[in-house]
Structure 1
Amino acid sequence: MNVVAYTLLLALVGVERIAELVVSRRHLVWARRRGGTEYGSGHYPWMVAAHVGLLGGALLEAWLLGRPFIPFLGWPMLGLAVLAQGLRWWCIATLGKQWNIRVIIVPNLPLVNEGPYRWLRHPNYVAVVVEGIALPLVHTCWLTASLFTVVNLALLRTRVKVENAALAQASDTGRARRC
């Protein structure tokens, strides 16, 4: 895979992120019409910045530092990145209108325990962690993979605390859903 093909891959992931934003916005409107409440909005802009940084950092590192594609690393990492996308969209499909990139609790909705949520409490974040490592390493962008992983883990620590607290509060009041 040459750097132009890698750039196309990153662009496709960027388009996928825009699709997520569109879906999330529709779901936010749906949730607010049903009395949904947002939790932890302060960390949201930082998460957006980190994900933009992941794509931009990988692109810049590949081009400016001339990172090579090494097949024995790149192909498995591409496979992991594709699997992470599959897991992400499985989460989105499982949650339906309850899925959002923000932490939104809608009254009187049951906690989702189907799909990947049967086995993991936060499967979407597993996808994010895997993708954050794998996508840059497709083209040996180890600086981006390392920096994003550190930043992302700090953000996810906050995000999971916020989400767990919101879900616990919702469960106590009879309203719950998953992110």
Structure 2
Amino acid sequence: MTSQWLFTALVLLVGLERVAELVVSKRHAAWALAHGGVERGQGHYPVMVGLHTGLLAGAVAEVWLADRTFVPALGWVMLALVVLSQALRWWCITTLGQQWNTRVIVVPGLSLVRRGPYRLVPHPNYIAVVVEGLALPLVHSAWVTAIVFTVVNAALLTVRIRCEDAALRELATPDPRTAEVAR
């Protein structure tokens, strides 16, 4: 089996991991909305989905169409970073429990999570996203995909993190009018 096929299998496994995330996210979002949650940032969500789908498709397409080679010194290090980013992502998911989903949903009355990776940095999941977005394509030298994803993702994360920070401030100091409605 060629390294291109092995890389394609790796990307498919990452894609399956994304599907698992979406299943968990959908269940958690339904819970949050059923408990009075209010969604924020709906406008950037489809862009985020498209970008992450593009990362997977672009990495495979570049490897095959540009005939990228596997460079062991780069590829093995990048693979280790991909695995570590997945571990960090699932640490974030398990730490937040039902409060985690791929959307920004504020549930009145819940407290901010300050344990697990959240005791160290405010948005640890985005560290996983940044590392994976750079490392996954570079496992098989797909440097164009790595650069394009990283640049576009930086712009998207600027919007996303501002949205989340505003929602988290709302959670930390709820609007009295919202609190009245939630009672």
Q: TM bucket by the smaller chain?
A: over 0.9
Tell me how far apart the structure 2 counterparts of residues 173 and 49 of structure 1 sit (CA, whole Å): 32
TM-score where L is the length of structure 2: 0.94
Report what 2:137 is aligned to.
136
How much does 1:173 deviate?
1.1
How much does 1:172 deviate?
1.1
Tell me how far apart the structure 2 counterparts of residues 130 and 29 of structure 1 sit (CA, whole Å): 29
Tell me how far apart the structure 2 counterparts of residues 78 and 133 of structure 1 sit (CA, whole Å): 11
Tell me how far apart the structure 2 counterparts of residues 149 and 157 of structure 1 sit (CA, whole Å): 12
Question: Is the Cα–Cα contact under 8 Å of residues 112 and 171 in structure 2 kept in the other structure?
Answer: no
Across the aligned residues of Structure 1 and Structure 2, the Cα RMSD in angstroms comes to 1.1
Secondary structure of the 1:11 match is helix
How much does 1:39 deviate?
0.5
Secondary structure of the 1:120 match is coil
Report what 2:25 is aligned to.
24
Tell me how far apart the structure 2 counterparts of residues 105 and 169 of structure 1 sit (CA, whole Å): 8
Gaps spanning 5+ residues in structure 2: where? none
Percent identity reads 59
Report what 1:114 is aligned to.
115
Query: Where do 1:74-113 residues align within 5 Å?
Result: 74-113=75-114
Structure 1 or 2, whichever has the larger Rg, is 2
Tell me how far apart the structure 1 counterparts of residues 141 and 40 of structure 2 sit (CA, whole Å): 36
Give the letter aligned to residue 7 of structure 2. Answer: Y
Give the letter aligned to residue 17 of structure 1. Answer: R
Give the letter aligned to residue 110 of structure 1. Answer: S
Secondary structure of the 1:128 match is helix
Tell me how far apart the structure 1 counterparts of residues 15 and 174 of structure 2 sit (CA, whole Å): 38
Give the letter aligned to residue 77 of structure 2. Answer: P
Tell me how far apart the structure 1 counterparts of residues 50 and 13 of structure 2 sit (CA, whole Å): 18
Tell me how far apart the structure 1 counterparts of residues 112 and 29 of structure 2 sit (CA, whole Å): 17
Gaps spanning 5+ residues in structure 1: where? none
Size of the aligned set, in residue pairs, is 175
How much does 1:105 deviate?
0.7
Question: Is the Cα–Cα contact under 8 Å of residues 68 and 141 in structure 2 kept in the other structure?
Answer: yes
How much does 1:170 deviate?
1.8
How much does 1:169 deviate?
1.6
How much does 1:49 deviate?
0.3
Query: Where do 1:1-179 residues align within 5 Å?
Result: 2-173=3-174
Q: After the TM superposition, which segments of 4 or more aligned residues of structure 1 sit over 6 Å from their partners? A: none
How much does 1:107 deviate?
1.2
